[in-house]
Amino acid sequence: MRKRQEIKYLLIAVLFSVPFLMGNLMTVNPATDEEEMIFIPAAKERSMGRIINEKVCKHYDMPVDPLMQERIEKIGEKVASGTDRRDIVYRFRVLKGKEGEKRKEKNYNAFAVPGGYIYVFSDLVEELKDEKKIAGVLAHEMSHVEAKHSVKRMQGNIGVTLLMLLGTQMQVEQTNVSLGAAIGHLMAAYSRQDEKQADELSVKYMKRAGYDPGGTIGALETLRELRSKAPRMKYFFGKSHPYVSERIAHLKGVVAGGTSFESYINLVNDEDEM
């Protein structure tokens, strides 16, 4: 009973402090022009990125082809020159397979972590070939960093962890375990809104860097083609970037200045692609 009262008082204190906290933590993101509440400062974001990068570098075979690495760095730096955040220095790395493992499947993946670390697997680079397609992939991943999507997800995870802890103390373990599992599954990937926003930002950054923004569309079309040819293979890039056909149609509209009827009617059922 006493523990429940303590939790009750804690929650009341948090509720009363929210207006004060929001007033001090609300900032405008230069990339999105949106007002947002961020608990994790840029210095902490960069620190977390360095730690994650160390783990990534130990986990995967590196370096790959030095010429490929150099090419990715040049393309990435060109795209980064047009980004909005000035508190981030982007770093690009080509990855291969897990260290010491025999590679049985291709890995068509690219991802970003807080602090500006961008990774792309050599399998994906080899398939894309075209510089503007590669630039499109890198621009998309940088856009996630620009919009602070990972940072916001981390903040959400902290909140969920706190709620689950409180639930356990209040003896509703069974309910919170199933809820926690469901929320954890949802947080394993960016939301559709995150993907849409990253796609739109990638068009802006591609244009600023002098690239044809259609490169992002081309990269997604290549990915969709790979899926259709080998549906049983694991395409992690696709798992973290769902709704490929919907994204292609939306991007065509963004590049052209509006969604075309042709793009709309050519949408396919993405559930069949998963």
- Residue 233 has a pLDDT of 43
Cα of 164 vs its chain's centroid, Å? 25
Structure confidence at residue 202 (pLDDT):
96
In the block, tokens 């809104």 appear at 193
Confidence of residue 20 (pLDDT cuts 50, 70, 90): very low
| Rounded Cα–Cα distance for residues 43 and 56 (Å) | 20
| 96 CB-near residues (< 8 Å, 6+ apart) | 60, 61, 62, 64, 103, 121, 122
pLDDT tens, residue by residue, 60-71: 877 778 999 999
Q: Distance between CA atoms of 95 and 156, rounded to whole angstroms?
A: 29
195's tokens:
């993907």
Q: Provide the percentage of residues in the chain whose pLDDT is more than 90.
A: 35
Of residues 59 and 146, more confidence is placed in 146
On the question of pLDDT at 72 being above 90, the answer is yes
pLDDT score recorded for residue 126: 94
Give the tokens for residue 14: 């948090």
108, 237 in Cβ contact below 8 A? yes
Give the integer Cα–Cα distance in Å for 9 and 12.
5
Of 36-40, 141-145, 210-214, where does mean pLDDT reach its minimum?
Answer: 36-40
pLDDT at 120 over 90: yes
Structural domain spans, the chain: 42-149+188-272
User: What tokens does 166 get?
Assistant: 């409180």
